[in-house]
């Protein structure tokens, strides 16, 4: 149960304030309905903060993240539905925001709205945090008069995108962690364990098997030239990072995501679900088709899918159907293209896109489970092979020397 501070204006024009308990802000607004005009409704922060909240407060040097934008959108939708003016709603939300940069942004947006600018135009000043999809859906709702309902749709879209990104990131972190452990164990064995046997094998190099000779040489190199190994690894990691920021590098990595044996199904499901979900939301919001296709391309997240939607945009601009260009690509399954074509012909494109994107969200979850399920045994086999090879290189010469002694 949360505490909410409210401000009401009665029929006589007098303003009253108070605090009430409710499970959600929507429930609090329902309790106030009929008692007067709600001016503001904000959550009262508790006197004690948990350690995680204190650590979170220390990380407010940057602007808002996607979760902050989601919370803002959700609260704004509830307050607008409760009859609170958009100016008062933004002000109320800004009062409880802890991030100073986000508070400054909301204050500026409130001032623009007070000055007569449309809300979508005020948001457009911050494209880094409110993308073109967000702004265009808000603009469409301003024209249709369904502001609160549209905010709910935007919030649902943001929530799904955050969840999807978290699932994919989790699937990528797991193999990265296992690989890091494998490299760490190998380095430990080569630099701390094998050198202990150097004295035992000294002078007997002629009778040592090749695995032992190879590993002893590698161990000696890493102990003597460890700084060079660190520099090379750092240069490779840094080079890959900076390359990913260039057009050629992004093209290379985006292509790799689509052809990597284990990960390609997961990434294809991700890009298809994201593209079609974005397109469906914009179509259902009443955004013009050319704008919808342009925004879908921008949010696709992969160079090749971005290029696909830009080609579709060019084709539609020339008067062609959406399915015309989609039929010429291998980035979308033929069944998806057929359903999009059917939705376009029947006038139910938005509904069809919603159904397809929901299906591919399920496909994405299954692909992530498959990836994590396959990576675990593969990494175990790789780690076992490395450790087994090193153990064999140590044990084999001991057996060989003992047989020579006999």
Assign 376 a pLDDT band (cuts: 50, 70, 90).
Answer: confident
pLDDT in tens, 253-263: 889 988 888 88
Q: Cβ of 245: how many Cβ atoms within 10 Å? A: 8
Locate the domains of the chain by residue range: 2-130, 164-406
Q: What is the pLDDT of residue 26?
A: 65
pTM assigned to the model: 0.69
Residue 2 has pLDDT above 80, yes or no: no
Query: Does the structural domain 2-130 have CATH classification 1.10.1740?
Result: no
Structure confidence by residue, pLDDT tens digits, 350-371: 889 989 988 988 888 888 888 8
Fold match, 2-130 / 164-406: yes
More confident: 297 or 43: 297
Would you state the structure tokens that stand for residue 64, as one six-digit string?
Answer: 């808002």
Q: Determine the pLDDT at residue 24.
A: 66
Rounded to an integer, what distance in angstroms lies between the CA atom of residue 172 and that of residue 368? 9
Question: What's the confidence (pLDDT) of residue 286?
Answer: 84
Q: 69-100 as b/e, with b when 16 or more CB fall inside 10 Å?
A: bbbbbbbbbbbbbbebebebbbbbbbeebebe
* Fold that domain 164-406 belongs to in CATH: Receptor-associated Protein (1.20.81)
The 10s digit of each residue's pLDDT in 380-390 is 888 888 888 88
Q: Where are the alpha helices (DSSP H) in 82-146?
A: 86-96, 100-114, 119-123, 132-144
What pLDDT does 55 receive?
47
Answer for the pair 382, 182: CB distance below 8 angstroms, yes or no.
Answer: yes
pLDDT band at 34 (very low <50, low <70, confident <90, very high): low
What tens digit of pLDDT does each residue of 56-87 get? Answer: 544 544 678 889 999 999 999 888 888 888 88
pLDDT tens, position by position, 119-162: 988 998 888 888 888 888 888 888 777 788 888 888 888 888 88
- What single-letter DSSP state applies at residue 260? -
Rounded-to-integer distance, Cα 154 and Cα 303, Å: 25
């Amino acid at each position: 149960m949360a505490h909410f501070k409210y401000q009401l204006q009665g029929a006589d024009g007098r303003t009253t304030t108070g605090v009430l308990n409710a499970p959600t802000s929507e429930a609090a607004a329902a309790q106030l309905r009929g008692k007067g005009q709600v001016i503001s409704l904000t959550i009262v922060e508790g006197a004690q903060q948990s350690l995680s909240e204190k650590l979170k407060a220390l990380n407010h040097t940057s602007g808002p993240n996607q979760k902050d934008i989601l919370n803002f959108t959700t609260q704004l939708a509830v307050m607008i539905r409760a009859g609170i003016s958009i100016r008062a709603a933004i002000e109320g939300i800004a009062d409880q925001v802890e991030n100073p940069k986000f508070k400054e942004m909301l204050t500026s947006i409130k001032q623009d709205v007070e000055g007569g600018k449309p809300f979508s135009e005020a948001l457009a000043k911050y494209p880094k945090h409110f993308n073109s999809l967000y702004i265009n859906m808000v603009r469409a709702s301003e024209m249709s008069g369904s502001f609160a309902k549209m905010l709910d749709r935007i919030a649902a879209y943001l929530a799904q995108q955050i969840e999807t990104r978290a699932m994919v990131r989790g699937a990528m972190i797991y193999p990265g962690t296992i690989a890091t452990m494998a490299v760490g164990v190998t380095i430990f064995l080569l630099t701390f364990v094998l050198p202990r046997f150097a004295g035992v094998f000294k002078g007997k190099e002629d009778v040592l098997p090749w695995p032992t000779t190879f590993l002893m040489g590698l161990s000696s190199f890493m102990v003597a030239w460890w700084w060079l190994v660190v520099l090379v690894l750092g240069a490779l990691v840094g080079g890959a990072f900076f390359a990913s920021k260039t057009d050629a590098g992004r093209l290379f990595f985006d292509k790799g995501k689509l052809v990597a044996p284990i990960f390609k199904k997961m990434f294809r499901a991700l890009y298809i679900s994201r593209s079609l979900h974005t397109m469906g939301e914009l179509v259902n919001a009443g955004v013009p088709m050319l704008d919808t296709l342009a925004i879908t391309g921008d949010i696709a997240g992969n160079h090749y899918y971005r290029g696909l939607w830009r080609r579709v945009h060019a084709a539609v601009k020339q008067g062609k159907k959406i399915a015309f260009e989609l039929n010429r690509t291998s980035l979308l399954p033929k069944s998806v293209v057929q359903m999009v074509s059917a939705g376009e012909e029947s006038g139910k494109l938005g509904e069809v896109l919603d159904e397809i994107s929901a299906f591919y969200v399920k496909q994405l979850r299954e692909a992530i489970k498959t990836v994590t399920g396959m990576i675990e045994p593969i990494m175990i086999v790789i780690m076992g092979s490395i450790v087994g090879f090193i153990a064999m290189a140590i044990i084999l010469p001991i057996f060989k020397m003992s047989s020579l002694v006999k």
